Amino acid sequence: MRYGMYDDDESEAARKFLREMKLSPRECDVVLGVTLQDLTNREIGENLGLSKRTIETHREHALRKLGIHGTVDLCKFVFIGIAPK
């Protein structure tokens, strides 16, 4: 685990999947916060020591890289990506 926010097997599987999708480590942290922890941008920022606006920017970049347009689609993408094959 890179930043210490998430520490279970599901989080590690999701992080590996997201890194394969070319997200930066910080973008992965933000996506994991949204999808696995159901945190707000403010809460993620507090956990990572970053501003809410910085988190919003990382989230926007991640969504753009993944070609996704919202939180529900992001959650589906992550959970389908880490589902056992």
pLDDT digits (tens, 9 = 90+) for 32-75: 999 988 999 999 999 999 999 999 999 999 999 999 999 999 99
| Cβ contacts of 54 within 8 Å, gap of 6 or more | 45
Q: Label each residue of the chain as H, E or C.
A: CCCCCCCCHHHHHHHHHHHHCCCCHHHHHHHHHHHCCCCCHHHHHHHHCCCHHHHHHHHHHHHHHHCCCCHHHHHHHHHHHHCCC
Domains observed in the chain? 10-82 (1.10.10.10)
The pTM is what?
0.85
The pLDDT value given to residue 7 = 61
